[in-house]
A and B are shown apart, each in its own frame.
Chain A
Amino acid sequence: MTTLTHLQRLEAESIHIMREVAATCDNPVMLYSIGKDSSVMLHLAMKAFHPSKLPFPLMHVDTTWKFREMIEFREKFVAENGLDLHVHINQDGVDQGIGPFSHGSAIHTDVMKTQGLKQALDKYGFDAAFGGARRDEEKSRAKERIFSFRSAQHRWDPKNQRPELWNIYNNRIQKGESMRVFPLSNWTELDIWQYIHLENIPIVPLYLAKERPVVELDGMLVMVDDDRMPLLDGEKPEMKMVRFRTLGCYPLTGAVESTATTLPEIIQEMLLTKTSERQGRAIDKDAHASMEQKKQEGYF
């Protein structure tokens, strides 16, 4: 009798979740952040509905501060695979000149990402949005349901979650309310990398080490991705062999020095390293419950 491997089980579970949404929700969307988790999620979606095309569009909430290579990757991937992508930018935020350097990470993230996401969900009236979050990422995520109910104001109420038994998901909502759905809930960081490796899933090259221009900012190595980066007098970007463990807005995403230029080397480095993944993100450094709070306010 054939026994499924751990990854095959995870794959089947994710596919089941995606099909459930496609079969029962009126207007779903897949949030696509261009990162490695999104890439895995999208790959699983293509598997889930094959030979049909994805029965929902993708959406990227663009903060206008993403790495240039991310946007290039997005455009190329979407074109090659004939995907339907909405790109949403919070125009109010752009008009107010909101940015991470001028306003700090908290305000920038809230306006361009959280508010931007809510705007986009309201604009298209999506009743379900897939996200690539994993339970091993962060403490409050470990407690979130796979089908996570959001009020009409997009709020998450952690103390009032619907019990979620077996693989029977309650996605019933009233008009205006919505579901965030996390098909990768039970994957770990190692599972993601291993699956990318086994399945040959294309990822943004920023995950691999390369000589890149960086400066040190608040103890973080920040890549100078464009000329919006304010440099101190006499400060010069230094070319260093670096890579990124997570991808987001370039000013808020710390690079790590590395020589890992292949997937096995990345995995090797990850396994031997002693800091957790989200440490590279400025946003989590605030108070403890910061992620829980942001999620309650509508952040993914």
Chain B
Amino acid sequence: MTRKSYEVQQSEQIANDIEGYLYEQEHKSFLRFITCGSVDDGKSTLIGRLLYDSKLIFEDQLASLENDSKKVGTQGGDMDFALLVDGLAAEREQGITIDVAYRFFATDKRKFIVADTPGHEQYTRNMATGASSADVAVILIDARRGVLTQTRRHSYIVNLLGIRHAVVAINKMDLVDYAQETFQGIEQEYREFASNLNFESITFVPMSALKGDNIMDASTNMDWYDGPTLMAVLENIDVSKETSDDVFRMPVQWVNRPNLDFRGFSGTIASGTIKPGDKVIALPSAKTSVVKSIVTYDGEMTVAVADQAVTITLEDEIDISRGDVLAEFDHRPEATDQFHASIIWMHDQPLLPGRPYLIKTTNKTVAGEVTELKHKVNINSLEHEAGKTLELNEVGVCNLSLDETIVFEPYADNPALGSFIMIDKITNVTVAAGMIDFGLRRATNVHWQAVDVHKEARATQKKQKPVVLWFTGLSASGKSTIANLVEKKLHSLGKHTYLLDGDNVRHGLNKDLGFIDADRVENIRRVGEVAKLMVDAGLIVLTAFISPFCAERRMVRDMMEDHEFLEVFVDTPIEICEQRDPKGLYKKARSGEIKNFTGFDSPYERPERADIHLHTGNMTAEAAAEAVIAKIEETYLTS
């Protein structure tokens, strides 16, 4: 049946048998796909064409499209379908797609949600966003330009995110005279590249989105091609991945407690099926029970399946909360606080190993850090490269360590339990997407050595309370000078102290570290750990480090117990520091002789709520030291 006669028939059915039509609509299959490819490969045009051909464009939209095509169109007055989907004003002005847009259309076979994603390199993160919820990737290639860097990058990323079916749409065939050799050449090149990826199926379609060749109807311009049209591929591709041996997992999202008599666990089933009477285990606590009922607004269910959002009650009162996972008793997922994962970095500020971030899994948010960046992946060659940080749009393989245990499964086995995002603790933006490969068992083998003489005993003997006085400020602000004076005063009061100085530490403990951001973070992390041991020894520790980033100062604060960390902000204006310049560093920075100098080409993030704020512009070092003593005297210097 041709498409036209289908439309007529459909309209008749709507007019004569709306109930029947609705029933068919309700039971149509459903596909989410993503379109990606390089800039100007014609993604938006393709989607505009799909919407237009499936009659999803209304008359008023069509009128405004005709209007816009004349005004800002790039097709010389012809319909510019891209204008239908480029929704943000900036996109319409620049003629490019900035953000991922979700579009909806249906044919007689299927309903579709398509994620239209940007081609420009700086928007690769948006592409990963679109890919995370798609089952099929339509990868567009401009027939004139063949396989490009972006084609490889996008193919790699959709594959990394677990999409198993690729449709390579070789577009703009009209501009290469519909030549079969061109098509075959690109197919071969792509197949070679994709042999390093693991797509389950790859289909190649020669087409022209602009002219409509092989989109809905078979092209009359390419008799040499006897494969399906793009739409036929999308309508028929089988993406079902559920198998009968999928095991039950449900991350607990919310505990449902309307009254004392009802305690249900609400969540979306990640995999498998569940029915009353099934034996389940709650992780990480490993408490077990039996499903009593599956409660919904529409009544109790006899069975619930993957992707359904349900509320489960259990026979026994066991303690379960958000962040836990309910699983089939005989097949339980792992729990760990350290794992190996691939991450896609999505922010302008690079990843800094050692810096604490928030890690959010499907139902839990915990603090954690990248402990080791094993390698970066060169997305063009798929080769491994060494690196200390990840920049925007880079992919890396790394080890992560969390403050708490999470329940997980490898992403390849169960995306819902193997995916996470990373969030910056200060700005709250999403900085990365991660996919867990496997858990690391090391974590369980290193135990903290319990000792009989503890921190409190050591401190009591010294008649003081241990604390870290963390001096932060620009180079030459007077941190070391003031810290030195404070230590002298404490010493004369009979207190037990130790001063960790930035320069001195860099001669020994940290002599392997430089001044790039990643090294600065590691420098502070090590100093923090040393200070922590000294606090455990009962000492009053003074540290003098520029420590320019809020996140690291907070990291050290988080290592200590409450009231064991006081941030002392030596607030000296940069002009005064530069005047002083005892080591001649500012002079060198000005002349460009040294790079990454704080206050010049490397930022200093001012503490917003320092425990002690020294305005050193108008006080002597002696007075500043006195101010510090006065501030700590009552709490820390008496036993």
Contacts and interface: CB of A to CB of B under 8 A. Distances in A.
A95 B84 CA distance: 42
B19 A19 contact: no
A51 B268 contact: no
A147 B362 CA distance: 15
A59 to B, nearest CB: 21
B362 A275 contact: no
Interface string A166-181: 1110101110000000
A136 interface: yes
A52 B433 CA distance: 34
Nearest to B58: A276
A142 B362 contact: no
Contact of A51 (B21, B244, B295): B295
Interface in B92-124: 92, 98-104, 111, 113
A19 B60 CA distance: 38
Nearest to B102: A135
A194 B125 CA distance: 35
A20 B252 CA distance: 11
Interface stretch (B307-315, B374-382, B488-496): B307-315
Given A6-B30, A51-B295, A168 B18 contact: no
A12 B30 contact: no
A159 interface: yes
A198 interface: yes
A48 B309 contact: yes
A1 B244 contact: yes
B443 interface: no
B253 A19 contact: yes
A4 B268 contact: no
Interface string A4-25: 1111110111011001101110
A170 B102 contact: no
Given A6-B30, A22-B254, A53-B258, A170 B430 contact: yes
Contacts of A13: 309
Given A142-B103, A163-B128, A197 B22 contact: yes
Nearest to A198: B26
Contact of A143 (B87, B104, B256): B87
Contacts of B322: 23
Contacts of A168: 360-362, 419-421
Q: Is the interface of B mostly helix, strand, loop or mixed?
A: mixed
B22 A50 contact: no
Given A50-B296, A271-B14, A165 B419 contact: yes
Given A12-B268, A47-B296, A186-B102, A164 B129 contact: yes
A222 to B, nearest CB: 19
Contacts of A163: 125-126, 128-129, 346, 421, 430, 433
A167 B360 contact: no
B429 A8 contact: no
A15 B295 CA distance: 14
A46 interface: yes
B309 A16 contact: yes
B360 A47 contact: no
A170 B360 contact: yes
A23 B18 contact: no
A51 B25 contact: no
A141 B103 CA distance: 10
B98 A5 contact: no
A155 to B, nearest CB: 15
Contacts of B295: 50-51
Nearest to B62: A274
A107 interface: no
Contacts of B15: 268, 272
Contacts of B400: none
B167 interface: no
A161 B347 CA distance: 12
B27 A166 contact: no
B303 interface: yes
Contacts of B99: 143, 158-159, 161
A16 B358 contact: no
A176 to B, nearest CB: 12
Given A8-B308, A16-B253, A268-B15, A276 B98 contact: no
A264 B89 contact: no
B59 A274 contact: yes
A265 interface: yes
A51 B99 CA distance: 39
A231 interface: no
A114 interface: no
Given A4-B307, A6-B111, A12-B268, A142 B26 contact: no
B25 A194 contact: yes
Interface in A65-103: none
29 contacts: A3-B240, A5-B27, A7-B26, A9-B30, A16-B268, A24-B365, A51-B258, A138-B87, A139-B85, A139-B86, A142-B101, A143-B87, A159-B90, A163-B129, A163-B433, A165-B419, A168-B419, A170-B421, A170-B430, A172-B423, A194-B25, A265-B18, A267-B18, A268-B15, A274-B59, A276-B58, A288-B64, A288-B92, A289-B89
Interface of A: 1-9, 11-13, 15-16, 19-20, 22-24, 46-53, 135-136, 138-143, 158-159, 161-168, 170, 172-174, 185-186, 188, 190, 194, 197-198, 264-265, 267-268, 271-276, 279, 288-289, 292-293
